[in-house]
Chain A
Amino acid sequence: MKTSYKPAIHFNHVNYSVEGRPILNTIMGSFPEGKITTLVGPSGAGKTTLLKLCNGLLSSDSGEIYIKDKMISSYEPVELRRLVGMALQSAPMINGTVMKNLSLPLELQGKQLPEDEAKELLHDVGLDEEFLSRNIRDLSGGQRQKVSIARTLVNRPQILLLDEITSSLDRTSLQEIEELIVKINRKYNTTIIWITHNLQQALTIGNYTWVMMDGEVIETGKSDLLKSPVNDKVKRFVKGEVE
């Protein structure tokens, strides 16, 4: 992506395969710092794999990934995952209360999350403080996603990876999450990389967009590219002809 912005993440000829089957092919490009970049493309395009490479849940077979100008391999895994937070599509929770889930990132470091900080986090994601004592079983899909995002924010990540976090939400929850992500981006200058199937969302929320298909980045640029794509495959995808 040609941009004057400083890259938060940069890919240089990155490849990844599973049992000899290529999943990502020669990925090149950058995600600009402090901006929202959306990843769109049909299922199986390699979008989730790309995110997992960024926070070190997977490692590439070849090529280099730079996070904040440093080779990804130069980070300790734990340090990298705190710097690059990730909210998973299924928003997995540990059994217990919202407070227990919010405390998890600090508990893993042997620390306690002060209640005031937990309340502030809930406030940030638009949930009332009385949610702290709620059992996660009693939360709706939208509320779970909000707790999942708040939990990721506990580590104060500079880069936030979001994997289809709105795919199963109703319209109201979807709008709330969109507003929340924009708020986080502006308040903390967090770089956001967001996988979405919702092209309207990519257009309105994202500053930049990557279109991925079959493990390759087909087209990148400002999100407006989705209105008038150059590539034929992307044109068909935007028209809904490629699932």
Chain B
Amino acid sequence: MSFLTLSITLIFVLIPIILSKTLRLDLEKDTIIATIRSIIQLLAVGYILKFVFDTESLVYIFLMVALMIGVATHNAQKKGASIRGITWKVGITLVFVEVLTQSILIGFNIIPATAQYIISISGMVVGNSMVLSILFLNRFTAEVETHQDETELILSLGGTPKQAIHTQLMNAIKASMIPTIESQKTVGLVQLPGMMSGQIIAGADPVQAVQFQLLVMFLLLTTAAVTSVMLGFLSYPTLFNERMQLLRGK
């Protein structure tokens, strides 16, 4: 695709801007900023990836993955500002998910240990883990807020913090995992996943593309489950103090 053809695709940006202006949604500025950011970020990453793939240096692979995890952590932690030490909790979760998935993939020889595979798959894993973290933190903080009475009830009856927060924690873990599971139920019937479509457009064998897509989907199931469970169990103890009291803006 030439740059001229690519610039024509900006029509797809113009449509939401016109709609926003007409309906006074006040989203024009955000749409323009998002477009400019995505152009700059993706072009930059394209050149960086080309450089890293050419060098095949482990240091650069590590730096790329570290950068992804750093940015994802920064983005996700904003949603859990009320939870003490949320930045390192999200960071540890993302690092653990990345190490776990890459160890299985490379350990079982499912993918070759090259920059091309490691970085591409890390992007999907870390990105998905970030979205899951945001979904989980959003739901968990809302559950804790709206069910304070139930939490205090269990505590007042002599329950431990873990018992007091159990239902809210499980609800948040479940709710954050549902979109991943649901989207996989209709995959291929309703939507063709982006990675698979990209490969097919680029001329790859559709069956080969499907195989890779299946690998990614299974990977994302583990990512979703491990992210929400791990973040949940790291987060809930900080909502209580050593006297088993629920902490609230004190």
Select one of B154, B163, B245, B250 contacting A18, CB under 8 A.
B250
Pick the residue among B167, B244, B250 that contacts A77 (CB under 8 A): B244
Instruction: Check: B156 CB closer than 8 A to any chain A CB.
Output: yes
Q: Which of B146-166 touch A at CB < 8 Å?
A: 149-150, 152-160, 163
**Tier of interface size on chain A:** 20 to 34
B194 CB–A CB distance under 8 Å = no
Say yes or no: is A175 at the interface (Cβ < 8 Å to chain B): no
Tell me how far the C-beta of B82 lies from the nearest C-beta in chain A, rounded to whole angstroms: 14
Interface residues contributed by chain B, number (CB under 8 Å): 19
Which single residue of chain A is at the shortest CB-CB distance from B157?
A105
* Complex CA distance for A153 and B157, rounded to whole angstroms: 10
Report A-chain residues with C-beta under 8 Å of the C-beta of B159.
78, 108
Are the C-beta atoms of B157 and A152 separated by less than 8 Å? Answer: yes
B157 and A92 contact, CB distance less than 8 A? no
Tell me the chain A residues, 135-162 only, with Cβ under 8 Å from chain B. Answer: 151-152, 154-155
What's the Cα separation between A48 and B250 when bound, in Å? 16
Q: Are B245 and A88 interface neighbours, CB within 8 A?
A: no
In angstroms, Cα B154 to Cα A90, docked, is 14
Which B residues touch A155, using CB under 8 A?
157-158
Contact between B244 and A78, CB atoms less than 8 A apart = yes
Least Cβ–Cβ distance between A109 and chain B, in angstroms: 7
Flag whether A189 is at the interface (Cβ < 8 A). no
Question: Given the interface contacts A56-B243, A59-B245, does A86 sit within 8 Å of B250 by beta carbon?
Answer: no
Asked if A92 and B160 make an inter-chain contact with CB atoms under 8 angstroms apart, the answer reads no
A19 CB-CB contact with B under 8 Å: yes
Shortest A217–chain B CB gap in Å is 22
Q: Are A108 and B154 in contact (CB under 8 A)?
A: yes
Contacts of A86 in B (CB 8 A): 156
Contact B163–A90 (Cβ < 8 Å): no
Q: Please, which residues of chain B bring their CB within 8 A of the CB of A88? A: 149, 152-153, 156
| A105 (CB) vs chain B CBs: closest residue | B157
The smallest C-beta distance from B17 to any residue of chain A, in angstroms, reads 43
Q: Does B249 contact A (CB under 8 A)?
A: yes
For A81, what are the chain B residues with a Cβ–Cβ distance below 8 Å?
155-158
User: When the two chains form their complex, are residues B156 and A59 in contact, meaning their CB atoms are under 8 A apart?
Assistant: no
Q: Is A10 an interface residue (CB 8 A)?
A: no
In the bound complex, residues from chain A placing their C-beta under 8 Å from that of B250 are 18-19
Q: Which residues of B contact A15 (CB under 8 A)?
A: none
- Which residue on A lies nearest to B248, using beta carbons? A18
Q: Which residues of B contact A (CB under 8 A)?
A: 149-150, 152-160, 163, 167, 243-246, 249-250
Other CB < 8 Å A-B pairs besides A57-B152, A92-B150, A104-B157, 17 of them?
A55-B156, A57-B156, A57-B246, A58-B245, A77-B244, A79-B158, A81-B155, A81-B157, A81-B158, A86-B156, A88-B149, A88-B153, A92-B152, A105-B158, A108-B157, A108-B160, A155-B158
